[in-house]
Amino acid sequence: MIAKERKEFLMPMRKLAILLTAVLLALSIITVPAVAQEGAGVQADGNPAKSAVFAVGVREYFLGNSPVGVKMDAAPFVANGRTYVPLRYLANALGVEDRYITWDAKSGLITLGQPGHPAIVLSIGSRRIKTGSQAGQMDVAPLVRNGRTYLPARWVAEALGYQVEWDPSRNWVVCWPRGKSKPDVTRVSEGLRGWKWTEVGYKLPDPQGELIDREESRGLVDQAYRTKAGLTMMFYYKLGYIDNRELELGIALPDDPYHPGTLAAFDQAEAILTSKFGPEFAGKVMSCARQHKSWRDSTPATFFTAPNGQKVRVHGSDSIEIMIYKS
């Protein structure tokens, strides 16, 4: 009798185990949509960048008309009359994600296989380029310098469907989708002239540069500067024990009767946040900040957590305060 009851008890338990196993198996094969990587030719709104700019000797590339570039660990250079750009950064800027870049060190074969683009195949030291099923001949070849692989920007960009223009006055290459009007990239010049990377990973208006209006009273901060647009930057890099602060951005409103700012101050703040945390996070923070329309408005404190775990607080009274904490 006991054996019979035990058997009857185990039967539903086995069925439950089988059912749970089936559910877990189904969950394990669900495909998670790919998330676009930062700097992979994608703007803050998720749309493809309208342009990519590579400047000779500069370890950044610029998407759209943003003055804040994406950092590179190597700089473009000119050889044999062509501009060479590091493989991964050139591909990323033109919309090819890392997972679709393959490099065979033994054969020197390089493949860019982003869906939606024709597959591009090149080889180190060879002028041959294959675009989809079409084979062609370049006037230069991919090469390796200081352990890094470089590709000729014009040939690769054109193969991926871009128009390319060399600007000798600025020593840069501009790429934009074929068939579209050449986009405005004038603000990229600002990123090359008046901005400077800091030791903690921000790109800020250079305290000694043309974007700065004056140095502010320091008080308990390391340094404080105000831009001509009306953005005040207060640095807590060394005195971070004050509430664990790292950087404070103050945006003066255009209707401030005492120290008016401009809407460009919002753009500068967004550029600074983008340089450290990426365009998506910067867009969320600044969307909150831009709700503050007048110096008479009051915006309650709102906290955000950056992708790297740092906390950011937006608060507004007569101006907008964006406080970035170390953690």
The β-bridge partners of 112 are 101, 120
Q: CA-CA distance, 56 to 85, in Å (whole number)? A: 9
Q: CA-CA distance, 71 to 191, in Å (whole number)? A: 12
What is the predicted pLDDT for the residue at 238? 63
pLDDT tier at 230, thresholds 50, 70, 90 = very high
Asked if residue 5 has pLDDT above 80, the reply is: no
Residue range 52-187, CATH number: 3.30.457.10
What is the predicted pLDDT for the residue at 243? 72
- Average of per-residue pLDDT values in the chain: 83
Q: CA-CA distance, 279 to 31, in Å (whole number)? A: 25
What is the predicted pLDDT for the residue at 71? 86
Tell me the three-class secondary structure of 164-231, residue by residue: EEEECCCCEEEEEECCCCCCCCHHHHHHHHCEEECCCCCEEECCCCCCEEEECCCCCCCEEEEECCCE
Per-position b or e across 299-310, b if 16+ CB within 10 A of its CB? beeeebebeeeb
pTM for this entry: 0.66
Asked if residue 10 has pLDDT above 60, the reply is: no
Percent of the chain with pLDDT over 70: 82
What is the predicted pLDDT for the residue at 42? 52
Lowest mean per-residue pLDDT among 113-117, 253-257, 296-300: 296-300
Query: What is the rounded average pLDDT of the residues 112-133?
Result: 94
Tokens of residue 119, six digits = 């597959």
Sheet of 77-79, strand order: 77-79, 82-86, 148-152, 143-145
Show me where the domains of the chain are located.
52-187, 194-325
Query: What is the rounded average pLDDT of the residues 100-118?
Result: 92
For residue range 28-60, what is the model confidence (pLDDT) as tens digits? 333 322 223 333 455 444 455 689 999 999 999
Asked if residue 24 has pLDDT above 60, the reply is: no
Percentage helix, strand, coil for the chain under 3-state DSSP, each rounded to 5: 25, 35, 45
Percent of the chain with pLDDT over 90: 50
Tally of CB atoms within 10 A around 183: 15
Tokens of residue 280, six digits = 């998506």
Helix (H, G, I), strand (E, B) or coil at 245: strand
What is the predicted pLDDT for the residue at 242? 66
79 φ/ψ angles, rounded to the nearest 5 degrees:
-145, 135
Asked if residue 1 has pLDDT above 80, the reply is: no
